[in-house]
Amino acid sequence: MGASAVKYLESVGAPSAKIFKIAYTTNVERFAAKPLTRPPDRARRLLFCGQFIERKGLIPFLQVLSRWASDHPDHAVNLALVGDGPLRPQLSQVLLATNVKLELLGVFQYEDLPEIYASAGIFVLPTLADTWAVVVNEALVAGLPVLGSAYAQAVEELIQEGRNGWIFRPDDAEDTYKAIDRMMSTSTAELDSMRAHGRMIASQLTPERLADLIGLAVNSCVGR
């Protein structure tokens, strides 16, 4: 899926010529149908979509986000969580700074997700481990810069620090804090530029493009 997987395979003796990187994909056109620009009240609204489980790193991220908000009382911080899972009760009980608003929006159907992405300005992915994380594709195409974990190969492959998002290590509270600070310090004009760059990058990973890459790998295996 990404450079870290390639590095691992090479470390156990796989020849580079026999390794093919093939990413996850999504319905690019559906998410690209939404406008890139965001009104001021949504420009920095944070969004997470996924399972409410420990591996997603939500509670540690919330704690650091709250600390940042406490240190910056003049900033209103709004985070919407889409999904469900066993950590839902704990998430609703996390003590947050008074200027943090946490919304638990529940579960939505896939066809409703473009509208959900359009309702936010920045996507957050504090996962502790993900093979890919297709939500990164969806967010970028929908016009959301991504504050993403270094432990997801979608972030490793698609996010360029400061150009379409920010990368951090969610198991390091100080690194997380610094990434949040970089995100919150980004101007509206810079965010607009990041939205355009993110859509350009992720729009290339169409189902057709990924099918072509699989075809190249198969043809190589059969000696064509």
pLDDT, one tens digit per residue, over 121-136 is 999 999 999 999 999 9
Of the pLDDT bands very low, low, confident and very high (cuts 50, 70, 90), residue 43 is very high
Across residues 18-30, what is the average pLDDT? 91
Residue 80 DSSP symbol: E
Tell me which residue has tokens 């066809």.
Answer: 111
Tokens standing for residue 207? 């189902």
Question: In whole angstroms, what is the distance from residue 18 CA to residue 145 CA?
Answer: 33
Share of the chain above pLDDT 90, in %: 90
Question: In whole angstroms, what is the distance from residue 147 CA to residue 136 CA?
Answer: 10
What's the confidence (pLDDT) of residue 1? Answer: 87
List of domains in the chain:
24-205 (3.40.50.2000)
Name every residue whose Cβ is closer than 8 Å to that of residue 3 and which is 6 or more positions away in sequence. 21, 153, 156, 157
b/e map 77-96, b = 16+ CB within 10 Å: bbbbbbbebebeeeeeeeeb
Q: Is the dihedral of CA 202, 204, 210, 216 positive or negative?
A: negative
Of the pLDDT bands very low, low, confident and very high (cuts 50, 70, 90), residue 95 is very high
Which residues is 216 bridged to in the sheet?
none
Q: Does the pLDDT of residue 224 top 80, yes or no?
A: no
End-to-end CA distance of the chain: 23
Question: In whole angstroms, what is the distance from residue 11 CA to residue 105 CA?
Answer: 43
What's the confidence (pLDDT) of residue 166? Answer: 98
Question: In whole angstroms, what is the distance from residue 150 CA to residue 126 CA?
Answer: 9
